[in-house]
Structure 1
Amino acid sequence: MNRRQTLLALALMPLMANAAGNHGGGHQETTGTAGDPAQVDRTIEVTMSDRMRFDPARIDVKAGQTIRFAVKNTGQQPHEMVIGSLDKLKEHAEKMRRNPGMKHEEPNMLRLDGGETGEVIWHFASPGEVDFACLIPGHLEAGMKGTIDVQPAP
């Protein structure tokens, strides 16, 4: 392999890794990082329902905070909470439509069956707007999404 081919292969590696059908890598967002449970600043309760809604659908946090999202599925069918940019969430939802058996193993996402509870602990590093959604086929399209407004630290 010559130098040009080697450089091209190295440049394409992240794209090839992201194209794999495995759900265990490549979906984490630059919207923050997995939070340390010992560093949680506050807990926000979130419910997911069969009305295809999150409550609350708008959440305000401060940059630098680590948030524990205490999530409950009050419905009968499975739902998920996935944190990321809306563009990436839509792209991910399309992948799930093509591969409905995908499993989630990332710290920015949680899937719960009806009646279950769980948590996502996320550290919001910088100000901006971050989205969250349920990516089970048809749920995002039905309006199951929300926004996290990450405000500058005081």
Structure 2
Amino acid sequence: MRKPEVYAAALALIGAATISANAGVGEPGHSHGAGYSAGEPGDSKKPARIVQVVMRESDGKMQFIPDRIEVRADEQIKFVLKNNGDLEHEFVLASTADNLKHAEVMKKNPDMEHDDPNAKRIDPKKSSEIVWKFSKLGQFEFACLIPGHRESGMVGTVVVK
């Protein structure tokens, strides 16, 4: 093979490896080609009901306050997320099944950062926001998927009626 053909073949192999490595990665990963299990990213230019969610640790437990939220179908919510704790926490909004799958991935990659439309990792004493449209009916959850946090109580429920 001549050099240009060698380079072309090498680039083709790298491209194929990249596609293969990313194949099948949807929620609970970071590619959302198939959509999100709990609705869709909201539009920050449109009206939204504000719901504050506080993250904290207390008496050996980790928690979200509130841990249950009810919304109407197609309602847009602006989650104002406040980490009042001394540890880093996450807010990951998805179906329970997707969050449990992603929690397994997090056990292997505990330092994975979340800054997705449906997920934020927040440093202690910091805040963040997520604007979300609940376009699907059902029960969903928000959870902290940092290893050990969900198991210590950091899970909440969103009921869409």
- TM-score category by the smaller chain? 0.7 to 0.9
State the TM-score, normalizing by the size of structure 2. Answer: 0.78
> What is the aligned partner in structure 2 of residue 140 from structure 1?
150
Checking the alignment, whether the CA contact within 8 Å between 1:79 and 1:112 is kept in structure 2 is yes
Tell me what 1:57 maps to.
Answer: 67
- Compute the displacement of 1:145 (Å): 0.2
2:41 to 34, 38, 42: 34
Answering whether residue 35 of structure 2 is matched by residue 25 of structure 1, we say no
Counterpart of 1:117?
Answer: 127
Q: Could you tell me how far 1:143 is from its partner in structure 2?
A: 1.6
Q: CA RMSD in A?
A: 2.2
What is the CA-CA distance between 1:94 and the residue it aligns to?
A: 0.8
1:74 equivalent in alignment to 2:74? no
Q: Note if contact 1:24-1:105 (Cα within 8 Å) is conserved in structure 2.
A: no
Report percent identity of matched pairs: 38
| 2:159 aligned counterpart, secondary structure | strand
User: 1:16 aligned to 2:26?
Assistant: no
For structure 1, the 5+ residue unaligned runs are 1-12
- 8 Å contact from structure 1 (residues 69, 121) kept in 2: yes
Instruction: Summarize deviations over 1:121-153 as a string: whole Å, max 9, x none.
Output: 1000032111110000101111210000111xx
Report the structure number with the largest CA radius of gyration: 2
CA offsets, 1:35-74, max 9 Å, x none?
Answer: 0011132100100002310000000110111100001001
The 3-state SS of whatever aligns with 1:136 is coil
CA contact (8 A) 2:54 2:81 kept: yes
TM-score w.r.t. length of structure 1: 0.81
Is the CA contact 1:48–1:54 (under 8 Å) kept in the aligned structure 2?
Answer: yes
Q: 2:95 aligns with which of 82, 85, 104?
A: 85
Give structure 1 regions of 4+ aligned residues with deviation exceeding 4 angstroms: none
Structure 2 gaps, min length 5 = 1-19
Aligned to 1:45: 52
**Number of residue pairs matched?**
137
Which SS does the other structure have where 1:147 is aligned?
Answer: strand
